[in-house]
Structure 1
Amino acid sequence: MTGKVAVVTGAGSGIGRRAAIALGEQGWNVVLAARRVETLEETAADGAFKAGNCMVHPADVSKPEEVDRLFEAVSARYGRLDLLFNNAGIFYTKPVEEIEPADWERSMAVNLNGAFYCAQAAFRQMKSQQPRGGRIINNGSVSAHVPRPHATPYTVAKHAITGLTKSLSLEGRAYDIACGQIDIGNAASPMTEAMPKGVLQADGTLKREPTMDIANVAQAILFMTALPLEANVQFMTVMATAMPYIGRG
């Protein structure tokens, strides 16, 4: 994989950080993107990047002009793009009747609009470069299939990500662009810190939920990226075995 170029959004923490490090360990040149430069620099300090095979580029993916600057910087430095891991996202819980317009708009702006802006920019680069093509992996979450209580904006956005994945897969066929989706459940990260303490269930009770090592997600992503562009993992679900997903509700 040495010399290939990846952009990882949300690379400052959690799944994004671990995926970026795993790619760096495999010899990828990794562009680290997130809003906060401090967390990106913490990721870049990992030993996986001792060879200098990374670039830190702060960007708010909800702002199309910042996404444009991100991908312009990638093109200027590396001249091509082989992988986008579309991972940036935010999550909060509120009963549906208490969701403010600003809450809804912010969730859509990051979880859906940001994913689209990044995918669009990556698609343009992959279509025009020589040799053309590349791979886009969208982080869908198990919420792309089933909701949690009090998570309407996140659930709606993640269902829409599935539509984005399918559309990119269809339009990418003509340009050697493969698009797949990884749906992750209860990987141990800052977003799932509450799981072992107890979280709201569909029946109104609070129950502890098991989590899994985030390294399992990174391994799944590496498997997807290792395939030649003639092959694609369209959808993959990787989750803690005992989490309440099958039969949720």
Structure 2
Amino acid sequence: MKTDGQVAVLTGAGSGIGRALALALARRGCHLALADIKAASLAETAAEAALLGVRVSQHALDVAERTAVAALPAAVLDTHGQVDLLINNAGVALGGLFEQIAEADFDWLMEINFHGLVRMTRAFLPLLRDSPSAASRIVNISSIYGIVAPPGQSAYSAAKFAVRGFSNALRHELQGSKIGVTVVHPGGVATAIARSARLPTGVPDGEIRERLARVERLLRMPPARAAEIIVRGIEGGRDRVIVGADARVAALLERLFPVHYWRVLGRLVPH
């Protein structure tokens, strides 16, 4: 699909891949409805994007809040008049093994990383159908952990596998319509997600933080580079975008050894 002159709704726009996506789209002339739970960082992204000459609206939003998500389409239409592209990027992380994680924390992550994405899709699907453009698209940001599932990532992988399955099923349901669905699997992108991960209580803090620090050292790709790969995938109408050589290797190993891939990857990935 073309992005010039279109309107994109983007969650998690305040930092990381979300901010980089906003700027990559703005450079292409795409108008933006930006959403994030952190108003200050959202305002920074919006200001940078506006300098590139596109129309930008800001929407303080917690995707876990049903009422807020349901009200967002009307607010976006009020400013932009249409929606052509929805990018579900908002996400959080949770450190610790499954037995260490409280049920409430597991549910917290699922509400944001999966259920929030689903309710955003439900809210904006009618607007994407009504888009005046010849093609519109839903882009769901999963993760390489939606293809492989390392220890210590039970909640995160559960959500990202769910995003992958939801996206693939929705694509099949929308086949023949003008709405495409892209699922994105980034590898090690240099964002703050590991540093900002929620940690379980009752577990030595240093133990989990050291594990997260080892993982963070693998997050090397600049967000701007990841965003360019994703936006090119959107423009090319791709159904799946794998971001980074590390993600491509992991996906290949999972395809070759769908049960035992971790025997190889476990030697390469700190956990």
TM-score (normalizing by structure 2) = 0.80
Identity of aligned residues (%): 31
Structure 1: runs of 5 or more not aligned:
none
Tell me if the contact between 2:26 and 2:52 (Cα under 8 Å) persists in the aligned partners: no
User: Aligned letter for 2:74?
Assistant: E
Distance 1:84 1:235 in 2: 15
Which structure would you say has the larger RCO, counting Cα contacts within 8 Å and 6 or more residues apart?
2
Structure 2: runs of 5 or more not aligned:
197-208, 254-263, 267-271
Which residue does 2:101 correspond to in 1? 99
SS in 2 for 1:209: coil
Tell me if the contact between 1:198 and 1:209 (Cα under 8 Å) persists in the aligned partners: no
Higher deviation after alignment, 113-122 or 171-180: 171-180
Residue 3 of structure 1 and its aligned partner are, at CA, apart by 2.0
Closer, same or farther in 2 for the Cα pair 1:133/1:126, shift >3 Å? Answer: farther
Residue 132 of structure 1 and its aligned partner are, at CA, apart by 6.4
Q: CA RMSD in A?
A: 2.6
Tell me if the contact between 1:209 and 1:244 (Cα under 8 Å) persists in the aligned partners: no
Aligned match for 1:32, one of 34, 52, 68: 34
SS in 2 for 1:7: strand
Which residue does 1:135 correspond to in 2? 137
Distance 1:161 1:242 in 2: 17
**What is the aligned length?**
240
SS in 1 for 2:14: coil
After superposition, give the CA deviation of every residue in 1:128-177 in whole Å (9 maximum; x if it has no partner).
34456510111010000112321111100100001111122112224310
Distance 1:135 1:208 in 2: 33
Which residue does 1:117 correspond to in 2? 119
Distance 2:215 2:155 in 1: 21
Higher deviation after alignment, 6-15 or 144-153: 144-153
Aligned match for 1:234, one of 216, 235, 239: 239
Which residue does 2:261 correspond to in 1? none
Q: Does 1:219 align with 2:236?
A: no
Residue 41 of structure 1 and its aligned partner are, at CA, apart by 0.3
Which residue does 1:8 correspond to in 2? 10
User: Aligned letter for 1:237?
Assistant: I
Which residue does 1:161 correspond to in 2? 163
Tell me if the contact between 1:184 and 1:237 (Cα under 8 Å) persists in the aligned partners: yes
Distance 1:206 1:2 in 2: 37
Aligned match for 2:68, one of 66, 80, 105: 66
Q: Does 1:248 align with 2:248?
A: no
Closer, same or farther in 2 for the Cα pair 1:60/1:47, shift >3 Å? Answer: closer
User: Aligned letter for 1:147?
Assistant: A
Question: Residues 129-208 of structure 1: matches in 2 within 5 Å?
Answer: 129-131=131-133, 133-192=135-194, 199=211, 208=217
SS in 2 for 1:162: helix
Residue 243 of structure 1 and its aligned partner are, at CA, apart by 9.7
Distance 1:207 1:22 in 2: 24
Distance 2:133 2:222 in 1: 36
SS in 2 for 1:32: strand
Q: Does 1:43 align with 2:52?
A: no
Tell me if the contact between 2:230 and 2:241 (Cα under 8 Å) persists in the aligned partners: no
Residue 52 of structure 1 and its aligned partner are, at CA, apart by 4.9
Tell me if the contact between 2:35 and 2:58 (Cα under 8 Å) persists in the aligned partners: yes
TM-score (normalizing by structure 1) = 0.87
Aligned match for 1:78, one of 69, 77, 80: 80
Residue 85 of structure 1 and its aligned partner are, at CA, apart by 1.0
Higher deviation after alignment, 21-30 or 74-83: 74-83
Distance 2:12 2:212 in 1: 26
